[in-house]
Structure 1
Amino acid sequence: MEIQLKHIENRAINKMKIPFVDLKAQYLSIKDKIDSSIASVIESSSYIGGKYVQAFEQDFARWMNVEYCISCGNGTDSLEILLVSMGIGAGDEVIVPAHTWISTAEAVCNVGAKPIFADSELESFTISPDSFLKKITNRTKAVIPVHLYGQCADMDPILKISKEHNIKVIEDCAQAHGATYKGKKVGTLGNAGSFSFFPGKNLGAYGDAGAIVTNDSEIAEKARMIANHGQLSKHNHVLIGRNSRLDGLQAAILSVKLDYLNEWTEMRRTNAAYYKQLFVQANLAVQVPFERIDCKHVFHIFSIKVENRSSLLDLLKREEIEAAVHYPKILPDLTVFNPSNHKSDEFVHSRHDTSQCVSLPMYAELTREQIEKVVEIISKSN
């Protein structure tokens, strides 16, 4: 499916500005279809539930090759709903990566359980299976590997350890739509997968949105009830749930975008490869993203590691190139998680990564000229 890039204005290059992500460029490339989908929802007044939500759930389940997709309000809700669906709550422990966005651990806290932090692997930014194993106690009920930045966590050892200890596996796929681990899409390897469709994601809505995917009928049934006030059917409330629903507008937008996601992913991967090629040619002191063998990285974030991060960020800002740090602190070092409870040498790899990583502009519509400009500026800092 050809994306009409001719509609995209080239303002960023002309003004020497390169945005971190360009959602307007994406919109302009499929404007007619997006506008038509929004108009259809408004015309039919199908705002909550209804045919557009049902269609997206069916489309996404088919794309994921799973039995069930349960849409909800956002990615954080999808994690919480899954934890409750699995009976996890007060007194339980859930192992999560030290290096990730707070939602992963926050969801555990919000269901009354305790997050237990594990270190990252040396190169991948994802949870270390060895660290995961060391953190298991008789209270451990689940693990949430995060496929961070679009990179697959090393699932084979995680699944093996989990099976041996009767631990549920919830995959946090908020940054990894379409990433594959040894031929299988992430979100289909554990007991269930959690997705966010925040606007900046590889598959993003125009507001908050999320979904759960699973092949487990019991998890699917409970999750759907929890997301809709605990209803088994209309006015038949069988448990305490919440109001966490995908609306018709977001569902219709996501269905349009889903048709382009495979192509956008390949464009991201092409851009990542070009970044890497230019960094190698320039012989810069930059560590480019690692890609696990037999896996497909979808590059939600293109994060390099550098020694001189502060000066590099200052230089990029002066040159009007947007960059970011994902994430400035590991979760155990945040005040809310009582840093004094953790040993200073407990998360060596995670702390090292957060001290050096810089996220560069990355999106499907990023041009070769823009990538060349980013690398040219970075070369000035070396």
Structure 2
Amino acid sequence: MTEILATSIGPVRLIGGNATPIWGMSNAERNRRMAESAAKNGSALAPGHELLFNLAYAFDPLLLRLALETPGTLFTWGDAPIVGQVAQGSDPMSAPHIIDLSDGRKLYNRQLRKLEQPMVRELTPTTRRAIERRSYFGAYKGVTDLLTKYLWPELALVLTRIAAQLRMTPNMVSVIGVTLCLLATYLFAQGMYWSGFLSGFIFMVLDTVDGKLARCTITSSRWGNVIDHGVDLVHPPFWWYFWGTGLAAWGLALPDDTFAFVMGAVIAGYVLQRLIEGAFLKDFGMDIHVWRPFDSRFRLITARRNPNMVILFVALLAGRPDIGLVALAWWTIVSLIVHAVRLAQAYAVKRSGRPILSWMDEAEGATA
């Protein structure tokens, strides 16, 4: 059975059939969404080519992105074609670049900063939940903070499944999260730290859910990305500032000079660290946290929102939210120094004539 779809990116050939849903939609609809999303992001088919999808299988969207980069590329699992950009109407197995993934090879996903074997699995009623689980975890960044990586993936998976079943859009989840983020800010300013932590914790989990829902259901949008990344970028300094003003409600207000030092450290340190990350990305074409294994490990604890919240949580358990804020300021300074040193070392390597490569690229080359 073969069906040809007309999409924004061009002709799409669906082979086989499959009645098993995935993330609340048919596999044909999922593949159509992937093709439309690729077109929206600027990808195009080579003249005389079409996209091919095998509806019997579910696969990592990374494979589609790679197939679109090189016309004539077909990913297979043994003798079964999975996804590829092939000549229109041709026998897919005659494609010039056939990559058999059944050999266990790993590929580097630059978008998600991780090296792993991409998911390819036959979609059946018995494998559906396992595939959804694998595609959900496949949407996780490999290099991120310790809370996102280890603490709440399972909780976020449950919430992502519920949101998909309720036909919620990622933007709906984002709006709920932003509301809770603003509520946490207000509660911190009033010194209501435990209530603020609860609101902030739910927001941080939903901050994971909206992105995973968008990737798993192929429903990301430009406006959604603006909401998600814009709020992520802007709100942390406000949380730290109003945490500081809320100390007065506990009778632990910091002296003016200490408060000025702390705010200068957390705000300037946050901004400068982001600028360093931006400079590294601009000059070396990759995230600073994927350069060497040390950088990937340091990303787990670097002074971003989630690790900083761990510092404040521990201090709050001890009844000293003031000490927690001071400790956060010093950790921000340490993190800033580490990032500045790594940027300087990268420039030194570049001046020496040696290439700046991610350790994940090197590992992929070693296993190819």
Q: TM-score range by the shorter chain?
A: under 0.3
Query: Which TM-score applies when normalising by structure 1?
Result: 0.21
Q: Which has more radius of gyration?
A: 2
TM-score under structure 2 length normalisation: 0.22
Higher relative contact order (CA 8 A, sep 6+): 1
